[in-house]
Amino acid sequence: MSIKILHIDSNHPILWQQLEEAGFENHTDFKSSKEEIEAKIQDYNGIVIRSRFKIDKTFLDKATNLQFIARVGAGLESIDCDYAETKGIHLIAAPEGNRNAVAEHSLGVILSLFNNLNQANAEIKAGHWNRESNRGHELDGKTVGIIGYGNMGKAFAKKLRGFEAEVLFYDILENIGDENARQVSLQELQQKADVLSLHLPWTPETDKMVNADFINAFSKPFWIINTSRGKNIVTADLVEAMKSEKVLGAGLDVLEYEKLSFETLFQDKNTPEAFQYLLQANNVLLTPHIAGWTFESHERLAQVIVDKIKAVYNK
């Protein structure tokens, strides 16, 4: 029997090509609503998604012949994983596909913040030659604290090896340290870190984790990098910490407001006050959720998904 796969988001062409070569039957629908997809999902054995809509209980109840869900990305938070597993559906993601991209991006953000590259570039282009106000910091001798030591956290720690920095991490799993980072308690990380880098999924446990109490538990002023999920940080609390200089700078690839329409978010009357501060602050570097969004990771993510789908059917 042919395995029918519905692709509801566009991806690198090798995903389609290699699945076709392996004997799978590919179909696309990039435009239909969730309800329209639900009306026909019983005809398919697999679905390939990115982030168009949530795969919830209603969807899964209609997907009576679904054997796998493949998300071309790192996380599965858009899927009701527990319910899917009760139906025997294989869940596939590709965190190893963009871990190198995220690690390189995180490193670039730290170096940019430490050396005021964003601010200095803007000043030079505006005709201002300001050396002293752009005096930077060195990563050498600093302590970098990583929260979340999965694919992304481990890849980032590996990138830091040449910088003579102490690298610590905290994770809910025990005994997963390696030659690149030492596992510590959250309290020790908060006591020692000069830089905090988040590499976490978005779960009920991590939602709004970085709040005022969390920030104030750090012994020293610190820089923060977030390439994980925007809702892991309470933006208003982050901004207050920046105003008091408890947080020295922030590199945010993801934002608490991401699910809102950015077309209206950038209009002053609709922009949250905390976001307005981030837009204006010289010690904040903002990017539009691109840490894992390289040309290389685009292809690598697709390849990982192909390989994992084929493995389900031993093709």
Q: Which residues are catalytic?
A: 229, 258, 289
Amino acid making up residue 30? F
Residue type, 40: K
User: 57-74 burial, b for 16+ CB within 10 Å, e for fewer?
Assistant: eebbeebeebbbbbbbbb
**Reduced 3-state DSSP string for the chain:** CCCEEEECCCCCHHHHHHHHHCCCEEEECCCCCHHHHHCCHHHCCEEEECCCCCECHHHHHHCCCCCEEEECCCCCCCECHHHHHHCCCEEECCHHHCHHHHHHHHHHHHHHHHCCHHHHHHHHHCCCCCCHHHCCCCCCCCEEEEECCCHHHHHHHHHHHHHCCEEEEECCCCCCCECCEEECCHHHHHHHCCEEEECCCCCCCCCCCECHHHHHCCCCCEEEEECCCHHHECHHHHHHHHHCCCEEEEEECCCCCCCCCHHHHCCHHHCCHHHHHHHHCCCEEECCCCCCCCHHHHHHHHHHHHHHHHHHCCC
What is the C-alpha R_g of the chain?
A: 21
Q: What is the number of alpha carbons within 13 Å of residue 211 lying toward its C-beta?
A: 6
Amino acid (1-letter code) at residue 49 = I
